[in-house]
Amino acid sequence: MKLKALLAAATAAAALTTGAAAAEQVKIGIAAEPYPPFASLDSSGNWVGWEVEVIGAVCAAAELDCVITPVAWDGIIPSLTGQQIDAIMASMSITEERMKTIDFSDPYYNTPAVIVADKSMEIDATPESLAGKIVGIQASTIHQAYAQEYFKDAELKVYQTQDEANQDLFAGRIDATQADSIAMADFVGSDTGSCCEIKGAVADDPAILGRGVGAGVRKGDDELREALNKGIAAILADGTHEKITAKYFTTSIY
């Protein structure tokens, strides 16, 4: 009888441990700096936007208890590898360079990189056209890496946030900026960005610009990566991804 009691107690303890592990919160890191329409704070201090809604939908589909955890963009990968957060879902492109440090889920969106400038400027998205121009780029992004590789005859001005680059573009302190097409479509559609227009998409370079945006996880965290893959696949299959996208954009971004 004592043996049976011990076995029963062990089984119960194991079940509780499993339940506790399943109930653990997954800290999803997003950039602390606003990046509309993907993620920004509303007037009540709540995070809102396309990516915030996608995070919620993916986690629900994957049966994960997720909590959004804002982290400064330039420290978001160290926060992941240092275990302050469990995953990154912050419009982070899947690149070969980043894959040396972290793993990625399947992509959940993919949009081109574009050049934006004042409407009066006759320039396009080529290195030749941007030679001699001042181009603003956000630090620690694929856009900085791309500009440094291809726009060597331009003067590059690096900003901590894309919003700062946009403000300097509006003020005329830079000639152009390179950033994600969807984010810049939101900017040029605003009162501040009405001065400017998208001049075109830069030539694709998958080695630098990546293969879409995915959720970053620590190397070897296959369980979480597969859970996120399950959630991404589910919201793509059941139309949830499309429904969320339709609230923010006029075209698919997958």
The verdict on 93 and 215 lying in the same domain is yes
Neighbours of 103 (CB within 10 A): 18
List the CATH number of the domain containing 77: 3.40.190.10
On whether residue 147 sits in a domain, the answer given is yes
Half-sphere exposure of 245 (CA within 13 A, CB side): 16
The verdict on 124 and 205 lying in the same domain is yes
The verdict on 244 and 121 lying in the same domain is no
Residue 36 burial class via C-beta count within 10 angstroms: exposed 0-12, middle 13-18, buried 19 and up: middle
For residue 54, the model assigns a pLDDT of 98
The verdict on 178 and 225 lying in the same domain is no
Mean pLDDT for each consecutive 10-residue tract of the chain (254 residues)?
A: 40 38 80 94 97 98 98 97 98 96 97 96 97 97 97 98 96 97 93 96 95 97 98 98 94 86
For residue 23, the model assigns a pLDDT of 52
The verdict on 117 and 203 lying in the same domain is yes
pTM, full prediction = 0.79
The verdict on 162 and 220 lying in the same domain is no
The verdict on 41 and 90 lying in the same domain is yes
Residue 99 burial class via C-beta count within 10 angstroms: exposed 0-12, middle 13-18, buried 19 and up: middle
Domain that holds residue 144: 113-209
Map residue 16 onto helix, strand or coil: helix
Neighbours of 14 (CB within 10 A): 10
Spacing of C-alpha 125 from chain mean position: 23
The verdict on 125 and 105 lying in the same domain is no
For residue 24, the model assigns a pLDDT of 85
**Strand-pair category, 134-138 with 155-159:** parallel
Number of domains in the chain: 2
For residue 67, the model assigns a pLDDT of 98
